[in-house]
Structure formats: C-alpha cells, structure tokens
A and B are shown apart, each in its own frame.
Chain A
C-alpha cells in the first residue's frame, strides 16, 4: 500500500513570497490533515478535511494560509505572503475516517525555510 505522498521535500523562499505544498493521501482515506511542526515542538493541526469539506480550521492563520482538497483526494496548502515564523515542517496525514480509534498515517513532510 502506497503511503502519503508530499512534495516538495524542501523549499526555501524569501519573506513575503508565496509557496504551495501538495499532498496525495492514502487511497480510500476520507480524512486528511495538515500539521505544522516547528523545530523542537510537537505537530500542531492547521486544518482537517473530511472528504472535500473542512471540519476544523480553527488554528489556521486564515489571513495568509489557505488549503483545499480537490474532489476529496489530493490537497494543497498555500501560504501567501510568508513570514519568517512560518519556517517549519509541514506534515500531511490521512486516515480512513476521523473516529476516535483511528490512527493517522503521515507523509515525510515539506521543510520550509523562510529567509
């Protein structure tokens, strides 16, 4: 079974530029998550999709971050404009559903450096 695919693996941009990350979840997984992991911290949920609908984006900085999940499969996360504090690893994960007992599977992440 193929895992969660993310691209690019690394990205360096200047502040105020825009950037986009792509995620392809495990086939058949209805729930997709984007997490932000700042160095030395645990992952923080940015947004959670159930199929193609957003079920939680309470910690997404909506003035600069946006995300969509086209046709309930692939997803993109965009930052525009980027700030220095956005430097982090962005992790995509998916799960069969969002029930309590369900584990999530993670991609390798995209390491973003904003200079």
Chain B
C-alpha cells in the first residue's frame, strides 16, 4: 500500500533561516505527492504537488519541494522562514488504483521563532 512518513513531529527554526520539513514515500508505481498546510482552527490548504518532470516544484507562499527518487523523499523547503509560516504541515500521496485515495502523513509542526 502507498504511504508517506514524516519523521519529525516538530521542526524549530529561527526567522530568516532556511527551513526543511521532511517527507519520505513508499509507492509501487509513479508517485503523486502533495504538501498541505494547516493553521490553527482551519482546514488544510494545498501548497504544491509533484506529478512528473522537474524535481523542484514551486508552490504557494514561497514554498518549494524537492523530489528525490533515489531517496524516495519529497522534502518541503523555504529559503527564508517567516513567523507566519508556523503551522502544521502534512505530506500526502495518491494511492493509485481505482479510487486514488489521498493518504496523509502524521504531520510536522513547524515553529518559527522571531
């Protein structure tokens, strides 16, 4: 079965520093990967997705993600963190098959200190 793993429950970074939120995947075919962000008391907001092609995907709010097939990773990155980036981040994968369920990781809490 397809799955994603987020190895870090929390990531702490100082404002202005680069940030990385890690995600690894396990799929049997071509991976279709997504990143979502969740602010307190809000639903999930789509950030970006990888379908095929360029390994560096650019998304909303200055975020980007790097797809690495050999390491089966899809890490979320931003060159300069903002305090307002503090939120819960989820990696997700479509599981293929007839229904193509969207399966989420456990989430990583990003805390950006001023």
Interface on A for B, CB 8 Å cutoff?
A: 4, 6, 33, 35, 41-45, 48, 55-56, 91, 93, 98-109, 111
> Is A106 a contact partner of B43 (Cβ separation < 8 A)?
yes
Q: Cα distance A106–B41 when bound, in Å?
A: 13
A45 and B105 contacting across the interface, CB-CB below 8 Å: no
Q: How far is the CA of A111 from the CA of B43 in the complex (A)?
A: 11
10 nearest CB pairs, A to B: A106-B43, A42-B104, A100-B32, A106-B44, A56-B99, A101-B51, A108-B43, A100-B94, A98-B100, A55-B99
Residues of A within 8 A of B94 (CB): 100-101
**Residues B51-101 near A (CB distance < 8 A):** 51, 90, 94, 96, 98-101
Tell me what chain B mostly uses at the interface: helix, strand, loop, or mixed.
loop
10 A-B pairs within 8 Å (CB atoms) are namely A33-B102, A42-B106, A43-B104, A91-B43, A100-B96, A103-B34, A104-B102, A106-B36, A106-B45, A108-B43
Residue of B nearest to A104 (CB): B102
Q: Is the CB of A56 within 8 A of B106?
A: no
Assuming the contacts A42-B107, A55-B98, A103-B49, asked whether A91 and B44 have C-beta atoms less than 8 A apart, the reply is yes
**Distance, CA A89 to CA B71, complexed state (A):** 33
Contact assessment for A101 and B49 in the assembled complex, using a CB-CB cutoff below 8 Å: yes
Chain B positions 26 through 37: 1 when the CB is less than 8 Å from some CB of chain A, otherwise 0 = 000010101010
